[in-house]
Amino acid sequence: MKRLMVVLVLGVLMGEGFANDPGKTAMAFLKVGQGARITAMGEAFVGLADDVNALYWNPAGLSQIKDRQATFMYLKPFQEFDGLSYSHIATTIPRGKDGSYGISLSYFGYGKEEKTDIDSGGNAITGLGNWTAFDSLFTVGGAMRLQKNLSVGASAKLIYGEIDKSNATGIACDIGCLYLPRIKNTTLGAVIKNIGTNIKFEKDSDPLPICVKLGLSHKFDRLPIIFVADATIPNDNDPYIGTGLEATIQNTFAIRLGARSGPADEGSGLTAGLGINHRLFSFDFAYQPGDSLGDSYFVSLSTKY
Per-residue pLDDT tens over the stretch 234-282: 999 899 999 999 999 998 999 999 999 988 766 678 999 999 998 889 9
161-204 pLDDT per residue, tens: 998 888 999 999 999 999 999 999 999 999 999 999 999 988 88
Structure letter (DSSP) for residue 220: -
Q: Is 67 helix (H, G, I), strand (E, B) or coil?
A: coil
- Segment of 91-105, 113-127, 284-298 carrying the highest mean pLDDT: 91-105
SS3 30: helix
Lowest mean pLDDT among 110-114, 124-128, 257-261: 124-128
What Rg, from alpha-carbon coordinates, does the chain have? 20
Contacts of 163 (CB under 8 A, 6+ apart): 131, 133, 201
Backbone angles phi, psi at 9, to 5 degrees: -70, -50
Q: How does pLDDT run across 25-58, given as a tens digit for each residue?
A: 889 999 999 999 999 999 999 999 999 999 999 9
- Rounded to whole angstroms, the Cα distance separating 74 from 147 reads 37
Q: Is the dihedral of CA 178, 181, 183, 185 positive or negative?
A: positive
Q: Evaluate if residue 160 carries a pLDDT over 90.
A: yes
Quote the CA–CA distance of 5 and 1 in Å, as a whole number: 6
SS3 60: helix
- Give the fold, CATH level 3, of 2-113+131-304: Porin (2.40.160)
| CA atoms of 189 and 171, how far apart (whole Å) | 24
The mean pLDDT value for 63-78 works out to: 92
Q: Which residue has the higher pLDDT, 4 or 64?
A: 64
**Range name among 35-49, 120-134, 220-234 with the lowest pLDDT average:** 120-134
Domain limits, the chain: 2-113+131-304
